[in-house]
Amino acid sequence: MDLRVVSAAARDVDADWLIVGVPEGGEWPDELVALDDALQEQLSRLREAGDLTGKLAELLIVPDTPALKSRRLLLVGIGSPTELSVTRWDKATMTAVRQVSSKRDLRVAFCVPEQLGFLSRDRAVEVLATALIVGSQGQDLFKAEHSRFPFAAAQIVLPESGDVGSASAASERGRILGDAINLARELVNRPPHEIYPETFAARALQEAISCSLMCHVFDEHRLEAERFGSLLAVAKGSDRPARMVVLEHRGGGPNAPTLALVGKGVTFDSGGLSIKPTDGMLTMKCDMAGAATVLGAMTAIARLKLPVNVIGYCGLVENMLGGKAYKLGDILTARNGVTIEVHNTDAEGRLVINDVLSYAVDHGADRLIDLATLTGACVVALGEDVSGAFTNNQAWCDQLLAAAKTAGEDLWQLPMFDSYNELLKSDVADCKNVGGRWGGAITAAKFLEKFVGGKPWVHLDIAGPAFASSSKGHREGGATGCLVRTLVEVAEKGQS
C-alpha cells in the first residue's frame, strides 16, 4: 500500500473515500467548519437533525460530494476531544477503516483532527497508520470472495499548516507495527494442517531473513540434548516433531541488558488424553498466539532498528493423542531439574514455556516476558478483551503496564501470593502441573515462576483477547495480534 502523509485542506484531497473525524459537542474546529462551508452547510444540517452527533466510532456516510475532490465522504465520531486517548482514537479509526475497505483498489484519505486532547499528533498518526494496515485485512484467507481488501493508496491528511516531517516518521512506525500485527494475525488464523512446529519455524526463518534478525531453529534432537524434558513430553503424542525458534536482535551493544520474549506455540491443542470437547477444541489453532505475537514483535523491533538487545523464543509443539502421548500420573523432569507430576494433559502450555524460560535465563536474559493463551480461568476473571499480568518484580511489571497504556492495550495485574504455591504441591514430585479449580490463572503463573531463576519476569495470559469469537465494528473476528504494540513499546522504553 502506498501510504503518505500530506498537508492539505480536506476539500482539496483527491480520493475514493475522504474520512473526517467529528468531535462530540462544542464548537467545531476550523478545518471542519471549512469543510462544512464547502458542502454548503450540509454537515450543520445533519448535526441539527441529530444524524451527526460525533459520538465515539459513530459513522455517517455522505455518498455524493460534488463540491469535494473526493468521491465519497465518511464522517466518524471521535467523542469529546478532552477524553481522546490512544484506545478511543484506535477504536474510531479502526471502525472507519473497516467500513470503507470492502472493495478492491480503493484510495482513501483520513484527516487528522486539530483537536486531539492529550493525544500527541505523532501518536495519532502512528495509530491511524496501524489502523489503515490492520483494519483493511480480514480473516477470510480461504474464501472465494473476500470481505476486506488492503487499500491501493492511503493519505494521512494534516491541516494545511501541518509539518509532515515527524508525522511521516510516525506513519512509517505505524505501518511497521501494522505489518507485525497482521503477521501474527495471519499465522494464528491459518489452519493447523498448515501451521505446525516445522512450518512455523520455516516461516519464522523467512521473516527473520527479510528483516535481518538472527534466527536459530532447534529440532527435536537439539531440544533433547538441551534437556527440554517437559516440552518434549507434550510433543510425544503428535507425529509433528517439536521445534524451538530463537530470534536475536542485537541493537544495544555487548554490555546492554537483554530482554527475552517467550511465546507459547502449541500449534494445535486437542487437550491430549484430557481431551477437550468439540466446542473447546474448535479454535485451538489459536493456541500458538503467544509465539506468533513474539515473532510479530521481533520483526517490528528489527525493522525499527531499536537500540536494544531483545531475544525472542518460540516453543513449538502439537498436543495430540497417540500411543506415545504423555499420561496423567507421569513424572516429567524439566530443563532446570524440577520434577512435575502430570494431573492434566490439557495444562500443557506451561509445560512448554517453562523449559523455554529456563533456557532463556541460562543464556543471559536479564528480564523476561512470556505470552501464552494459557488458561480459561483468566478469561473468566477478566473477560475476552483484557490480558492478565503476573510478576515476581513489581518495578518491571509497572514498566510493562505503562507500556501497555501508552500502546492503548488493556492489561490487568493479578496477585501472586505465596499461598498459591500450596495448591501446586505434589506427594511424589516437586510440584503438580495444575493447582485445582480455584485461582487457575494464578497457579499457572506460580508454576512458571519456578523456572525464571529469580530474574525480573512478567507472565501475560492472553487467552481472552488473542482470538475474537466474532467481529465488531472496530475489530475483525479471529486473531487480533494483541500486545505486539505493547512488546515493542516496552522493548524501546523499558530497558533504561
**134-149 confidence digits (pLDDT tens):** 999 999 999 999 999 9
pLDDT band for 160, please (50, 70, 90 cuts): confident
Catalytic residues: 276, 350
**Grid cell for residue 272:** 491430549
pLDDT at residue 496 greater than cutoff 50: no
| pLDDT value of residue 495 | 53
Neighbouring residues of 225: CB distance < 8 A, sequence distance ≥ 6: none
What is the structure's pLDDT at 118?
86
How many angstroms separate the Cα of 487 from the Cα of each of 136, 246, 394? 23, 16, 17
**What is the pLDDT, as a whole number, of residue 494?**
60
Half-sphere exposure of 281 (CA within 13 A, CB side): 15
**b/e per residue 224-255 (b: at least 16 CB within 10 A):** eebbbbbbbbbbbbbebbbbbbbbbbeebeee
Tens digit of each residue's pLDDT (9 = 90 or more) over 178-211: 999 999 999 999 999 999 999 999 999 999 999 9
pLDDT higher than threshold 90 for residue 105: yes
Cα separation, 143 vs 139, in Å, equals 9
The pLDDT score that the predictor gives to residue 163 is 79
The CATH 3.40.630.10 portion of the chain extends over 182-493
Asked whether the beta carbons of 74 and 59 are under 8 A apart, the reply is yes
CATH number assigned to the domain with residue range 182-493, chosen from the 4 options 2.60.40.10, 3.40.630.10, 3.40.50.1970, 1.10.150.120? 3.40.630.10
Res. 162: pLDDT tops 90:
no
Give the CATH fold of the 2-160 domain: Leucine Aminopeptidase, subunit E; domain 1 (3.40.220)
**What digits encode the pLDDT tens for the residues 306-321?**
999 999 999 999 999 9
Long-range contacts of 207-213 (CB under 8 A, 24+ apart): 207/183, 207/295, 207/299, 208/247, 208/298, 208/299, 210/299, 211/299, 211/302, 211/303, 212/302, 213/247, 213/248, 213/249, 213/298, 213/299, 213/302
Give residue-wise pLDDT tens across range 314-348. 999 999 999 999 999 999 999 999 999 999 999 99
- Residues 482-495 have a mean pLDDT of 91
**88/97 Cα distance (integer angstroms):** 14
Q: Where in the chain is the domain with CATH 3.40.220.10?
A: 2-160
Residues in the chain: 496
